[in-house]
């Protein structure tokens, strides 16, 4: 199995320009190198339905597990701290996995204020750019975008969570794989997130992803 630090490319991370307006963020392409995507594809968990699932609800292979564990390490927290200018070392984290998107996903929003930083790592091999991506917005209007992040394999988006960090995407139905990592304000926020996502995952299984199974957060 590949070592954890072989699963990511911090040269691509370091080369990504930091954008400070209208909110602090950066996009790193090929953060997961193309050379290891076959391993990640093979070991990606079987996500049963649309919505975000905690790792505790999923079964995944060794390379994917190694990637997730490494992303939550102190070494990675230090790298993001230096890049974004916010101290994340020692801060608690939450991690959720998404495999599919539905028609009701993608509405414009800002993240919960319990989240300090949001990291989205897309893992969609052979993504068609025409399907659109996550729009970074100047306001709560989906057409008021200043950038669009195509969710192709290995692309990483990170942003500091502020009240104007608007984002969303047009409806898309189908496979849309991503890892969402958040550094959060407290252990209590972690417990709340685990409880919400765990309950939501159970409801999705019980009701088949219908109206009663609305995710507790939005698609990315």
Q: What is the pTM of this model?
A: 0.87
**137: pLDDT strictly greater than 70:** yes
Give residue 72's Cα distance to chain centre.
13
- For residue 218, being part of any structural domain is answered with no
The CATH number given to whatever domain includes residue 122 is 2.60.120.620
Enclosing domain of residue 189: 4-213
The more confident residue out of 149 and 203 is: 149
Lookup: tokens for 84: 């974004």
* Residue whose token pair is 């495999």: 99
Q: Give the three-class secondary structure for 65.
A: helix
Contacts of 141 (CB under 8 A, 6+ apart): 108
Average pLDDT of span 61-83: 96
> What total number of domains does the chain contain?
1
| pLDDT tens digits for range 176-196 | 999 999 999 986 655 565 545
Residue 48, burial from CB neighbour count under 10 angstroms (0-12, 13-18, 19+): middle
| pLDDT tens digits for range 30-68 | 999 999 999 999 999 999 888 899 988 899 999 999 999
Select from 193, 163, 164, 192 the least CA-distant residue to 96: 193
Left if phi > 0, otherwise alpha if psi is -120 to 50, otherwise beta: which for 85? Answer: left
pLDDT reported for residue 195: 46
């Amino acid at each position: 199995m590949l070592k954890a630090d072989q699963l990511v490319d911090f040269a691509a991370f370091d080369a990504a320009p930091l954008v400070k307006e209208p909110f602090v963020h950066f996009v790193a392409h090929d953060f997961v190198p193309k050379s290891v995507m076959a391993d990640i594809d093979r070991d990606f968990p079987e996500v049963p339905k649309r919505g975000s699932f905690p790792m505790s609800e999923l079964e995944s292979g060794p390379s994917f597990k190694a990637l997730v564990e490494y992303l939550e390490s102190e070494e990675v927290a230090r790298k993001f701290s230096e890049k974004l200018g916010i101290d994340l070392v020692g801060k608690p984290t939450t991690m959720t996995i998404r495999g599919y998107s539905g028609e009701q996903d993608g509405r414009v929003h800002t993240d919960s204020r319990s989240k300090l930083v949001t990291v989205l790592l897309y893992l969609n091999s052979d993504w068609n750019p025409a399907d659109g991506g996550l729009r970074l917005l100047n306001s709560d209007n989906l057409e008021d975008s200043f950038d669009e992040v195509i969710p192709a394999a290995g692309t990483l988006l990170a942003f500091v969570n502020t009240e104007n960090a608007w984002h969303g995407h047009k409806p898309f139905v189908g496979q849309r794989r991503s890892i969402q990592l958040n550094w959060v304000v407290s252990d209590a926020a972690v417990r709340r997130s685990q409880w919400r996502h765990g309950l939501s995952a159970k409801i999705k299984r019980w009701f088949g992803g219908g109206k009663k199974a609305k995710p507790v957060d939005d698609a990315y």
